[in-house]
Amino acid sequence: MAFLKILDSYGRKIHAYSAFEGAGTGRRLSNWGTSTAGPNSTIFSSLGNLRSRSRELSRNDPQICGALDCLVSNIVGMGISPRWQLADSKLKKRLQQLWTDWTQEADADGLLDFYGLQALAARSIIESGEVFIRFCPKRSGIGLTVPLQLQILEADHLDHNYNTIAPNGNEIRMGIEFDKTGQRQAYWIFREHPGEYFMTTANPFDRVRIPASEILHAFQPLRPGQQRGRPWLASLILTMHELNQFNDAELVRKKTAAMFGGFITQPSEEGNMPPLFGNEGEPDNTGSPVIDMQPGTFSALPPGYNVTFSEPADVGGNYGSFVKHQEQRAARGIGGLTYEKFTGDLSGVTYSSIRAGNLEFQRQCKQFIFNIMAYQICRPVARYWLSQVVLSNALRLPGYAKDLRLYQRIKWTIDGWPWVDPLKDLKASTGLVRSGFSSRTQEVAERGLDVEALEEEIQADNERADAIGLVFDSDARQSNR
């Protein structure tokens, strides 16, 4: 048991034993993990450095850059798309088509569609810890399908060091204005990115108060009461930095050693020695002659000279296993990535092992998709979009004002993951449907498709084939099995 020194209610020292070794305060644990800082105090003191170092890793570490790309492609894929749960199939189809048309116009910067904005937002959350999305309603008649666009803002636009009292008496914490009940009322956003002050004549530190109803703040809260998000790389920044330095040092050592083919020496007692070949190359920075050797040559040295060939030491047998162990630790610290996805190393992988790893990784991806991306971004965007549809008369929605929830019932469909082994996975999916443990709708949704759209495509294919007399063995109507 660990021996503790604590104070009673009168400030007197009393002695007790901790039942948990991890709670001890002995020599080995005296300076470790005793902070009682709250979720926002911890972030406040570290957010700037964490964000900067996370971005530095993603810029210069190919492994981290690839890991971010892998996470974003698995989380967003081709897009997280809505499926309205309306009984009126004609109205539902028109609403779906209007949304599809609008997604091409969603970006206020005109660079991405709505699903591209999802990918950019997801990457910002992973890399910077959070992202802000500003609603930009437009006036009707300017050529937009629905007069609404979205603007993505980096986390730097909201100064986490800004803590004060607003003119209306509300408290501002880390740039967010809260009312007396603790509800978010506004965000005090920099007009320009503070890191690009040299590229604009405007004051980049001029703040604008934007109502909370016009801003989406998306991040993954890890502690109750957390107000700002932290980068996902926070727990592995030091590990990856040290591992990169280790690899760089080993690479430079090997490169330097490989530059020398050998060394020519002469005994000091020989005095003045004859020139080596009479065609010495340019001397190095110490004035010593450098002999350039061509492949296939075998030169004879004058008497008295000796040659020692360079024999650089190898990295050692433990190098690979050491680096792999560090990479495995790092992979677990970023979104549940498997080692294979983090490094691209598929050696030794079997069907069972990669499938087990994929299932766990996909479970964590789905948790983030539906708890963060769908709930914090897609859901409020769809609701704001619906209000703009009604206000602009882009589509008549009967009874919208009386029953908002009727139109807000949306099922968000993700881009499905490809099969590891198509034949085995197809048999498993077919067995689930036939045994009643799943439905066609569910299995189709797992592939990232809309069952109604798929059925319409199959019907159109069948009608087209029947019209011109084509028969395929893939058509179940032609089979007796």
The pTM of the full predicted model, rounded to 2 decimals, is: 0.81
Averaged pLDDT for residues 345-352: 83
For residues 426 and 429, give the distance between their C-alpha atoms in angstroms, rounded to a whole number.
5
Least confident of 201-205, 220-224, 248-252, 386-390: 201-205
What pLDDT is stored for residue 379 in this prediction?
96
The answer, yes or no, to whether residue 201 has pLDDT greater than 80, is: no
CB atoms within 10 A of CB 219: 20
pLDDT tens digits for 39-72? 898 888 889 999 999 999 999 999 999 999 999 9
The answer, yes or no, to whether residue 439 has pLDDT greater than 60, is: yes
For residues 467 and 299, give the distance between their C-alpha atoms in angstroms, rounded to a whole number.
85
Q: Is 355 exposed, middle or buried (0-12, 13-18, 19+ CB in 10 A)?
A: middle
- Tell which residue, 334, 253, 338, 325, has the closest CA to residue 57: 334
Averaged pLDDT for residues 119-123: 96
Q: Between these two residues, 159 and 276, which has the higher pLDDT value?
A: 159
The answer, yes or no, to whether residue 304 has pLDDT greater than 70, is: no
pLDDT tens digits for 217-266? 999 999 999 999 999 999 889 989 998 888 888 888 777 767 666 666 76
CB atoms within 10 A of CB 175: 22
CB of 139 closer than 8 Å to CB of 26:
no
Q: Between these two residues, 251 and 277, which has the higher pLDDT value?
A: 251
Enumerate the H helices of 334-421 as residue ranges. 339-343, 351-368, 379-392, 404-408
Averaged pLDDT for residues 386-399: 93
Q: Are strands 215-219 and 130-137 parallel, antiparallel or unpaired?
A: antiparallel
Averaged pLDDT for residues 463-475: 83
Q: Is 390 exposed, middle or buried (0-12, 13-18, 19+ CB in 10 A)?
A: middle
Q: Which residue has the tokens 């089979």?
A: 479
Proportion of the chain above pLDDT 70, given as a percent:
83
